[in-house]
């Protein structure tokens, strides 16, 4: 499993942060292929209600200066952006957890 999960739309303010990724492999190599996809909707549905209640209303704050991929002299181009940690899909309203990158923090609604 990968050490860093992210959504490619992290740097866009909602609702522009929704990004769609499609992967089509014409030739599948016998080894490698480190790209992975996780169904965070299914994860949300699988956890106890107490976990859902704990995170509902919480925010994920992306902190660009913690990402070594960004040039330090251009950080002003990347504002701190907040996303709902539990968000509803814009197509059908299904709840899921936000695919946070390690370059941010979760601010609990009660903390």
Is 48's pLDDT higher than 70? yes
- pLDDT tens across 51-80, in order? 999 999 999 888 888 878 778 888 887 777
**Reported confidence tier of residue 2, pLDDT bands at 50, 70, 90:** very low
Coil, helix or strand for 106?
strand
d(CA 14, CA 95) in angstroms, rounded, equals: 15
Using CB atoms within 10 Å of the CB of residue 3, give its burial: 0 to 12 exposed, 13 to 18 middle, 19+ buried: exposed
pTM value surpassing 0.75? no
């Amino acid at each position: 499993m990968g050490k860093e999960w992210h959504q490619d739309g992290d740097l866009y303010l909602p609702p522009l942060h929704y990004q769609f990724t499609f992967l089509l492999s014409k030739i599948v190599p016998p080894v490698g292929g480190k790209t992975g996809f996780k169904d965070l909707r299914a994860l949300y549905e699988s956890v106890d209600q107490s976990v859902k209640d704990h995170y509902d209303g919480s925010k994920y704050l992306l902190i660009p200066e913690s990402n070594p991929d960004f040039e330090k002299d251009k950080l002003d181009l990347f504002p701190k952006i907040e996303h709902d940690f539990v968000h509803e899909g814009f197509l059908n309203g299904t709840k899921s957890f936000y695919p946070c990158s390690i370059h941010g923090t979760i601010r609990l609604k009660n903390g």
